[in-house]
Amino acid sequence: MNKRLKQKIAFAVFRILGLMVVGILFWILGFILYNGIGVVNWEFLITAPKEGMTAGGILPAIVGTLCLIAGSVIFAFPIGVMSAIYMNEYAGNGWIVRFIRIMTNNLGSIPSIVFGLFGMALFVNTLKFGDSILAGSCTLGLLVLPLIIRTTEEALKAIPDSFRTGSLALGASKLQTIRRVILPIAFPNIITGLILSIGRVSGETAPILFTVAAYFLPKLPNSIFDQVMALPYHLYVIATSGTDIEASRPIAYGTALVLIAIVLLMNLLATILRRYFGRKVKIN
Amino acid sequence: MKKIRQIIERMVKVMLTLSGSITSLAILLIIIFLFKEGFGLFNNPSVEKGYALCINASNPVEYLSPEQIKQIFDYEITTWDEVSGNREDIIPFRFDEIFSMYPEEEFGIDYELLPEKLGEVIVQNPNIIAYIPEQYLLRENASVKTLPQENIRVDNFFGGKEWLPTATPSPQFGVLPLIMGTLWVSFFAILIALPLGMGVAIYMSELAGTRIHKLLKPAIELLAGIPSVVYGFFGLVVLVPLVQKALSLPVGETAFAGSLILAIMALPTIITIAEDAMRGTPRAMREASLALGATRWQTIYKVIVPYASSGITAAVVLGIGRAIGETMAVLMVTGNAAVMPNSLFQSVRTIPATIAAELGEAPAGGAHYQSLFLLGCILFAITMLISVSAEFISKRQHNKGI
């Protein structure tokens, strides 16, 4: 066979495969959107589930997910950013940093169900938090820690060393340099990491199964020691084990749509931020 | 003033150092807690804690293995000679049967006569095997023999072919069907995802213009961002009926449906890493190949793909890691039958799905609970191995660049 012809065939196949991946994405998103859009309205967002989760809305699940987002971010964001600052600004380039980096990567590759097991053993049973927002937030916080560390580290690495040496040459201390020079420049990219981890937290199911998620709890939480419903777990419940699976299908589509909307909105926001500020830093 | 500032600087540095160690600490804690709970399993008796198995003293049988005990109470072993005893039928006896044999009054007010009655039953039936709580055991009765109890053995756990953690009197913790189920589903997922992912990666790194690339890249990031429970839901309402209809199977919840959904989920990982690896091919190598008269396609498969092979291998390994650890999607579409898989079109159950499905019902600290932690240990060990080897493989890639 002619080698030009071979090339033509191969490239055509690759083009089709590329199209296929986009097709799969649109298939999934379109399917959820098409079936869910009729269900989601203001009423759906602000009422609690009724009649064995076959009617009503998903307010408790939304509030629960917001609580978990807030909790895990409060826990993981400061620690993650500080950890990245340490690795990039203080620790130099020795074996310590290499070790920490490997550990961070490993933590990031642990399956989410293992975090669930660990969260149950440590936070729920050993530290006696019980099934609570606190236990769930800590578990989810650990889960997104590697993501926050990695994005922050990349943000810090992107800053040229001349900024650091320039600031130090002007008589600023190391801490002043970090606070006044490094962090303000890296800020948008660090926020990007934060937004991505919010997207991740809101979609995770396995880590909250045994640490916080309630099967059905139509009231809003009062304290961090309360159980809550959460969007992803709620979707799992009404899709597989509700009282009447057929009757609750529309609710499941609506829940999936809300969940996907939150996650994709976060991803979109992160992409926009990255593009916008990515340009700005370079001009500086 | 200067002193204070120095102190602050030093304190901040200590704080930063402490935060720097958080991930290592987390991994250490995960290992400690997982393994502590998990390996406690082997300190459990193979019969439920607090229960004993008794036989008549005239019965020559001295020992029964956990598997034999289970088979006896499942009526799969029915005569004593199958377990090196007499040629007599076995009469399995469960504790609660005693209440239908005697009127309530005869046990006394606080059931203080219950042990005596149990002893009576065992003495009267020479071929009985009784499963009773230890607290109601009559120790002094010479015509009742208590079978020795052994702990759950390591080889029974890793070599066992039955996963029946709630069976009484002898729960079976054979992890093989779960490991096989996990490998089975993940392997076929990668088999589907690899050609697809490689094609897209080649397309993105070598063929697509910047505009198409700018469209494809976010699409793949979105695909990676969709929560696994949404994939599971999609699989449940779309793929499962589709698989069932297309292959005319009795049920659609099969290993194949799981592989399909996992393939989609592993795609972004494979594409991103393989694309990065191929992009890393030095310009000089491409140009040399083209200058020698090779077509772009020849350059791709004879120069670029071999050059990026370690990166591509790393992509596959990480894709497998993603597939093995995935919980919710698999839980929702594979049907979760804990049997040894021998076909792609039957229901299987993976390790993560087992943990997710059963931990809620397992009482904390019991054998079942600990066995699920041990499953977690296995999962943890596999993913550690995968992540370390992926790191090792991609390091080889970097060395090649120099």
What pLDDT does B260 receive? 94
Residues B147-157: what's their mean pLDDT? Answer: 82
Q: Is A173 exposed, middle or buried (0-12, 13-18, 19+ CB in 10 A)?
A: middle
Question: Residue A280: pLDDT above 60?
Answer: no
What pLDDT does A141 receive? 95
What pLDDT does A242 receive? 64
CB pair distance less than 8 Å for A28 and B230: yes
Q: What is the pLDDT of residues B58-70, one digit of tens each?
A: 888 878 887 788 8
3-state secondary structure of B142: coil
| Residue B20 dihedral angles phi and psi, to the nearest 5° | -60, -30
* Share above pLDDT 70 across residues of chain A, in percent, rounded to a whole number: 96
Q: Which residue of B has its CA nearest to A30?
A: B234
Q: Which of A188-202, B134-148, B304-318 has the lowest mean pLDDT?
A: B134-148
Alpha carbon A80 to its chain centroid, in Å, reads 14
Res. A284 pLDDT band, cuts 50 70 90:
very low
Q: What is the pLDDT of residues A1-29, one digit of tens each?
A: 688 888 899 899 999 999 999 999 999 99
Query: Which H, E and C letters describe A20-79, residue by residue?
Result: HHHHHHHHHHHHHHHHHCCCCCHHHHHCCEECCCCEECCHHHHHHHHHHHHHHHHHHHHH
What pLDDT does B400 receive? 58
Q: What is the pLDDT of residues B113-125, one digit of tens each?
A: 777 778 888 888 8
CB-based contacts of B140, cutoff 8 Å, min separation 6:
none
Report how far residue B318's alpha carbon sits from residue B322's, in angstroms, rounded to the nearest whole number: 6
Residues A238-266: what's their mean pLDDT? Answer: 87
Chain B residues in contact with A104 by the CB 8 A cut-off are 23
CB pair distance less than 8 Å for A205 and B19: no
Q: What is the pLDDT of residues B39-56, one digit of tens each?
A: 888 888 877 777 888 888
Q: What is the pLDDT of residues A92-146, one digit of tens each?
A: 888 888 889 889 989 999 999 999 999 999 999 999 998 999 999 999 999 999 9
What pLDDT does A278 receive? 65
Q: What is the pLDDT of residues A42-80, one digit of tens each?
A: 888 888 887 777 778 889 999 999 999 999 999 999 999
* Share above pLDDT 70 across residues of chain B, in percent, rounded to a whole number: 98
CB pair distance less than 8 Å for B271 and A21: yes
Q: Any CB–CB contact under 8 A between A20 and chain B?
A: yes
Chain B residues in contact with A102 by the CB 8 A cut-off are 388, 391
What pLDDT does A31 receive? 95
Chain A residues in contact with B381 by the CB 8 A cut-off are none
Question: Residue B402: pLDDT above 50?
Answer: no
* Share above pLDDT 90 across residues of chain B, in percent, rounded to a whole number: 39
Region label for A243, one of left (φ > 0), alpha (ψ between -120 and 50) or beta (otherwise): alpha
Looking at every residue in chain B, the average pLDDT score rounds to 87
Q: Any CB–CB contact under 8 A between A32 and chain B?
A: yes
**pTM, entire model:** 0.89
**B263 closest CA partner among B343, B190, B187:** B190
Region label for A111, one of left (φ > 0), alpha (ψ between -120 and 50) or beta (otherwise): beta
Q: Which of A24-33, A175-184, B141-150, B225-234 has the lowest mean pLDDT?
A: B141-150
Q: Any CB–CB contact under 8 A between A169 and chain B?
A: no
Separation in Å, CA of A231 to nearest CA in chain B: 10
Question: Residue A279: pLDDT above 70?
Answer: no
Q: Any CB–CB contact under 8 A between A215 and chain B?
A: no
Q: Is A111 exposed, middle or buried (0-12, 13-18, 19+ CB in 10 A)?
A: buried
Question: Residue A283: pLDDT above 50?
Answer: no
* Share above pLDDT 90 across residues of chain A, in percent, rounded to a whole number: 52
Question: Residue A32: pLDDT above 90?
Answer: yes
